[in-house]
Chains A and B, each alone.
Chain A
Amino acid sequence: MATRSPLCPLSPVADLIRIQQQDFDLAREYQALRRDSAAGATADTGIGAIVTFTGLVRDFLNVATEALDTAATLDADAGTGSDRGATSPAPGLYLQHYPGMTERSLTAIVDEARRRWRLNRVRVIHRVGQLAPGDQIVFVGVAAAHRGEAFAACEFIMDYLKIRAMFWKKESGPRGSRWVESRDSDQAAASRWQSDDRD
């Protein structure tokens, strides 16, 4: 990576876009946004703001834990789809993606954020595979000279990730599992940015 002068804080930096099964460490991601790893431990003095977002797996069933205790008495009356009748899976989420295309869709979202705001480093991590309620699922971190850009770009990337990035969630609970339906509220959240002239 090219060495960066503090006088030129917005020289091009490679974005980190990662899809992985394993968990991530918020403190490490924050430090990676703050410091140029290629330049050792030196903090990048061109950065004035870092905004990070972490998404967690919500306990979407709310009563999942209690329901599990009585799962044996529940019959296959829920009609939850193809997995009905299978043994009760652990409550949680299964995350599927399209290797290759998912990375492209995330790169396009980050590129679009870069067109709208002057940004320094951007890191996006999305987990896939089997996750449990409370698990970290997604991380978006944006470093910029000023907080306005960092806040806006972080929210923009998350809003577009929800409607454009190739991931599919399958919920599992005591009554079986089902693919999550897309939500109009996510479309609405992303469409805010279309009417917005922020650049």
Chain B
Amino acid sequence: MIRVLFFGALADIAGREQLDLTWQPSLDSPAAIRLALAASAPALERALQQPQVLVARNLDQAGWDTPVADGDEIAFMPPVTGG
């Protein structure tokens, strides 16, 4: 299973903060996960295409082609606005 987390406005667009995907070898990167969302959530997939979207794998900042394995937690985050 891959746990996908959405934060900020991305959670609003996704309509949820968390999505558990059954593991498949094709979900081998954040980019592949984004692509897999296109069919069921096209607006979300478009939002994730924005260049400023941040990606994390298991609490570490990652890239769109960082390898993803079964059991990983992948987060999609808008630019941060704390402080």
Contacts and interface: CB of A to CB of B under 8 A. Distances in A.
B75 A179 contact: no
Interface of B: 5, 7-9, 12, 52, 56, 59-60, 75, 77-83
B81 A167 contact: yes
A170 B11 CA distance: 12
Chain A binding surface, main DSSP class: mixed
Contact of B7 (A100, A168, A180, A183): A168
Report which residue of A96, A138, A161 has the largest number of chain B beta carbons within 10 angstroms of its beta carbon. Answer: A96
A35 interface: no
Contacts of A97: 82
Chain A, interface size category, equals: 20 to 34
Given A162-B82, A169-B82, A179 B60 contact: no
A101 B80 contact: no
B83 A138 contact: yes
A170 to B, nearest CB: 8
Given A82-B12, A168-B7, A182 B79 contact: yes
A28 B24 CA distance: 52
A81 interface: yes
